[in-house]
A and B are shown apart, each in its own frame.
Chain A
Amino acid sequence: MSNGTLEIKAISGHAGPVPGRDASRDYGICKVIDVTTCIGCKACEVACLEWNGYPFRETVFDNTYQTMPDLAWNYYNLIRFNEHVAEDGTLSWLMRKDGCMHCADPGCLRACPADGAIVQYANGIVDFNQDHCIGCQYCVTGCPFNIPKFNSETKKVHKCTLCSDRVGAGLEPACIKACPTGCLHFGSKEDMTDLAQNRAKQLREHTSHKNAGVYDPAGVGGTHVIYVLHDIEHPELYGGLPKNPRVPLLVRLWKGPLKWLGNLAITAGILAAAGHYIRFGPKRLDEHQDEDRDEAKKGEPK
């Protein structure tokens, strides 16, 4: 789905100015996860690992069908299994594919101080560029969904890329390709929102799920991964999906109204350093410290 393909340039059999010419469509892309048709088969987990080339990892039994307790830096896609008993005693087994939501207002990006480490594409994909990541993990704090995971060996943070490499080549993400039931769909945000809303409406009208709805939380500006839930009033039942996710206050303040304070602090810091330099002169390294630095360099990945 490359940009521009849906912009109208000319139409057949039409005299005069082309209606709709230069009007651009919303190119935002979107993944729908209809949890009401998810069977927890984990095909998406395997497809994600295989596409991203991540190896087998050791897991342990934990009294659940869930592969492991949480996402990992090399495990972007995890189905969360939850047994829930309603007030009337009805049991449900909720399965939710967890992973990056690709927020329109991404808390990770807001929080990230490293130049170019987090990129938001026009189509809505929020991608991490590990080459620029400084490992500060502010993105982890900034994310209201607890998604980015830190690799303590490489000191880089990773998360679902929404297969930006596949999408850029006109393919759907790997998880979508693997899903056997059609619980996952991929397309424009507009189309996917329609699809999800229609499904939620169908559930409300034809099944016992009278509270079915679409999870596309406004608190983060909407998301490019949306859910159809049996019960939109209780997203927290699906393994801790927040009801009203928002970028944490501190991050909002830090990158918003209080940005001047940060800038002021940086300026003050530079001024103080300059003052220090003028006052005390350059710092001298002894030989021993140089050796340490060389050792550290050897360990860097080539």
Chain B
Amino acid sequence: MTNGWIDIKNTDMMLIMGGNPAENHPCGFKWPVEAKRQRNAKMIVVDPRFTRTAAVADMFLQIRAGADIAFLGGVVRYAIENQRIAKEYLVNYTNAAFIVKDGFKLPEDGLYSGFNSGTQSYDKSTWNYEESGSGPAPKPVAGAPPPPPSLPPNVAYDLTLENPRCVYQLLKKQYSRYTPEMVERITGIPKDQFIKAADLFTSIRTGGDMQKAGTIIYAVGWTQHTFGSQIIRTAAILQLVLGNVGRAGGGVNALRGHSNIQGATDVAGIFDNLPGYLKVPNPADKDFSGWMARITPKSAKPKEWDSFNYWGNTPRFAVSFLKTMYGDAATKENDWAYSYLPKVDREYSWTHIWDDMYKGKVKGVIAFGMNAVAIGPNSRKTIDALKKSDWLAVCDIYPDETSEFWKSPGITADEMKNIKTEVYRLPGAGFAEKDGTFVNSARWLQWKWAAVPPPGDAKLDQEILARIFLKVRDLYKKEGGAFPDPILNLSWNYTTPQNPSLADVAKELNGRALADVEDKPTQQTMKTGQQLPGFSWLRDDGSTACGNWIWCGSWTEAGALMQRRGTDDPSGLGIYPNWGWSWPMNRRVLYNRASADLNGKPWDPSRRQVWWNEAQKKWVGNDVPDFKVDSAPQDHMGPFIMNPEGVGRLFVPLGGMAEGPFPEHYEPFESPIANPLHPQQSTNPVVKKYQSDLDKYGTPEQGFTVVCTTYRLTEHYHYWTKNNPMNVQLVPEMFVEIPVELAGDLGINGGDKVKVSSARGATYIAKAMVTKRIKPMTIDGKKVYQIGIPIHQGYRGIQEDEGKNARTIVNLLSPTVTDPNAYTPEFKGFLVKLEKA
């Protein structure tokens, strides 16, 4: 979230789309309700189904799964057409005025400039800004490869926004095709309903008035598409156009579906990140400085403006990280032990790992606190991959589908005997048995204390991991190996090495001074060994260690700030500055400089977040300013300090996004129609798909005509609450939600067993829930039905063990095809066939 849960109470307008907070985040949903009750805020819900969130909304629109970019693009067009835009914000806080290179082409035919149909990839060199006053290009050095394209330090711009190649004009042109008629053809939302929703959402900026704020709230209903990142980008564009980012009650807000998924992401949940979102090195980065040169951006802005370019500090974060990892073994002389870091030579996302195991390349896997067979796409492929693996270790609190993959339905007794995989079950501890922090959707680190000790032989996660690591290290010590150094030199200075306390780990992540460190401007010094108060103290000379720079400041000499439970909220904005600790630096709303106008005065005097204090010559406020505190408004430093431009990106230059600088609507990989915008380029041109014999993709012509979407219920939590009688009582059996009309066509009554199948070949069986809450749709003139399936069914659980359901997993149906930016599979909006079982 750019903002936070509690901040939603400050909003005037909510667009909830690609998320179902009432069902999947019921406790957080109190804040949208609070905004309705206290501010008469309006709530618009757009979803393939009429959900429990829709039940309390002011307006509900049923959208076809996967048509979100078309909808949002249509709203962007509506805002521009009706001049419901934040003009001053747009000109000064976004790249609207920046001029884009000649030769850049919009995807009117579905492709941006630079596409190579042979390699199915883009040359992104035209996806760049025009250099201001650029003289002749520097002479290429003979024989040297051309330097990789980079942003120009001086960007050409036009504050009138009239230059046809300025970002604003290109944006306008890009979404001019997203007319209400086109939105209706793609999304299935009738034109008049769409206009009503667009009018309502943008009404906060009527006449350009800046006082009100609107928020966009989403979850995995947006991410789980082959263009998921681009849906979120479209939302960001809309919020920048409306001037809603950085403001209380505004922002682009991702609701996290697990209690600590934000924390997992922060410490490198994805293969291409290191903790704190540092980009991983690749084999072309020959040394530490080469790596730094590639991943440290240089500011790129109009000459007259200023840019903080905070990622310019990347070397300080990276050296401090390496000092944490390898301690004294990381020295300036050995390039901070850069050679120890794995170099990522290709993609290693979830779907890649399982594809590699299916191909026999990956020999074993540790499934820790997650149910691989059930959560990934194309479960059959995951199960078959596990059959080929040598070993599997599962750490969980229940026997689950993964540890019993060899007993999954359809495997015969004979076949079972031939599965040679050695399976280990490790006795994990439950959430109430562990201490440590959760990082919530609002980026708050909140410490929790163990309620009860783990039962029996169950062990804390860190003990299990520590014991495995120490054993592996012993083996390397005794037997050596190809490259033992990173293992042998890994810093492991915990009080109890066999079972490190999470307090030790949290302190290590925060970081400390390894020598006396002086802060010149304030003349303060941190003594050797002291916990650092913030990431501005990090150094690239080896004098500081910090496991995750964005968490620096969470456990300081003042103690564990994430353990704070202060309930004061002096501003009434729900900031609660002394409750827990939010990264970065306890800022509750990111980019909050943008909550004030060009002169540093809050857009809305009743929701004052930060402002420029002329007497003190610094930024002050109710929130911690997310800005260079002494940068006066006349310096024109951009509020988006993490971008080299200093401003918000309507247009993402160069390699930022795989598909192109502006989001374009592509059809889901399996779609009932050809893309009405450009039928010849229907789906994402750079989508990640797989070629194995189990990776089959379906079409309507093969009889897969029904659009299927999957989701969680309030009453269950993924796959483990089916072991809890209370949850089972609330929803005893899984079901398929089917429109009344489709059920009528197929002669299905509520409670009948139905069979759902997809091109993957497997079937899912459950009972029919016949409902009015999903209506038939007309998509590009064609009648299309959608159905919905909750994800919770499996083959282990109370009902499953008693033989009371079909024991099929919904992900037997979903395809292995992913977003090229975030590698998220398309669990929403794939094609199936529905029959009475």
Contacts and interface: CB of A to CB of B under 8 A. Distances in A.
Contacts of A199: 37
B714 A42 contact: yes
Nearest to B768: A63
Interface in A9-67: 36-43, 45-46, 49, 55-65, 67
Interface stretch (A91-99, A126-134, A142-150, A262-270): A91-99
B384 interface: no
Given A63-B769, A64-B769, A85-B772, A56 B751 contact: no
A83 interface: yes
Interface in B20-74: 22-23, 26-27, 29-30, 33-34, 36-37, 40, 50, 52-56, 58, 60
B732 A60 contact: yes
Interface string B629-671: 0000000000000000000000000000000000000000000
Given A39-B52, A63-B769, A93-B54, A56 B725 contact: yes
Contacts of B771: 83
A59 B26 contact: no
B772 A91 contact: yes
B767 interface: yes
A95 to B, nearest CB: 6
Q: What band does the interface of chain A fall in when counting residues whose beta carbon is under 8 Å from B?
A: 35 or more
B715 interface: yes
Given A59-B729, A83-B773, A93-B50, A39 B767 contact: no
Interface stretch (A202-210, A217-225, A241-249): A202-210
Contacts of B22: 39-41, 181
A83 B772 contact: yes
A176 to B, nearest CB: 13
A168 interface: no
Contacts of A58: 729, 732
Contacts of B29: 39, 180-181
Contact of B26 (A55, A181, A206): A181
Contacts of A57: 729
Given A39-B22, A202-B37, A207 B769 contact: no
A36 B726 contact: no
B487 interface: no
Contacts of B26: 39, 41, 43, 180-181
B732 A45 contact: no
Contact of B773 (A41, A49, A67, A93): A93
Nearest to B733: A61
Contacts of A67: 729-731
B23 A41 contact: yes
A275 interface: no
Contacts of B751: 61-63
A63 B726 CA distance: 19
Contacts of B52: 39-41, 93, 95
Nearest to B58: A207
A256 interface: no
Contacts of A207: 58
A285 B52 CA distance: 64
A61 B732 contact: yes
A116 interface: no
Contacts of A49: 726
Contacts of B714: 39-42
A182 interface: yes
A60 B730 CA distance: 9
B750 interface: yes
Given A56-B726, A56-B728, A39 B23 contact: yes
Interface in A153-202: 180-183, 199, 202
Contacts of B733: 60-61
B770 interface: yes
B715 A42 contact: yes
A214 to B, nearest CB: 16
B309 to A, nearest CB: 41
A93 B55 contact: yes
B735 interface: yes
A92 B772 contact: no
Nearest to A90: B60
A64 B34 CA distance: 28
A270 B411 CA distance: 76
Contacts of B40: 202, 206
Contacts of A180: 26-27, 29-30
Interface centre among B22, B54, B56, B769 (most CB of A within 10 A): B56
A85 B53 CA distance: 17
Interface string A70-95: 00000000000001010000011111
A41 B50 CA distance: 15
A60 B805 CA distance: 11
B735 A181 contact: no
Interface centre among B34, B726, B775 (most CB of A within 10 A): B726
A115 B138 CA distance: 102
Nearest to B775: A91
B39 to A, nearest CB: 10
Contacts of A61: 732-733, 735, 751, 767, 769
A93 B57 CA distance: 11
Contact of A63 (B30, B55, B725, B770): B770
Contacts of B769: 61, 63-64
Interface string B704-748: 000000000011000000000110111111010000000000000
Interface centre among B54, B728, B729, B750 (most CB of A within 10 A): B729
Nearest to B60: A91
Contacts of A39: 22-23, 26, 29, 52-53, 55-56, 714
B773 A37 contact: no
A62 B771 CA distance: 12
A182 B34 contact: yes
Interface centre among A65, A94, A95, A206 (most CB of B within 10 A): A65
A210 B156 CA distance: 54
Given A55-B725, A63-B769, A181-B26, 5 more contacts: A36-B56, A39-B56, A58-B732, A85-B772, A182-B37
Query: Shortest 6 CB-CB distances between A and B: which pairs?
Result: A63-B750, A56-B725, A39-B22, A61-B733, A93-B55, A41-B26
21 contacts: A37-B33, A39-B56, A40-B22, A40-B714, A41-B22, A41-B52, A42-B730, A43-B26, A56-B725, A58-B732, A60-B733, A64-B769, A65-B731, A83-B773, A93-B55, A94-B55, A180-B29, A181-B30, A182-B33, A182-B37, A202-B37
Interface of A: 36-43, 45-46, 49, 55-65, 67, 83, 85, 91-95, 180-183, 199, 202, 206-208
Interface of B: 22-23, 26-27, 29-30, 33-34, 36-37, 40, 50, 52-56, 58, 60, 714-715, 725-726, 728-733, 735, 750-751, 767-773, 775
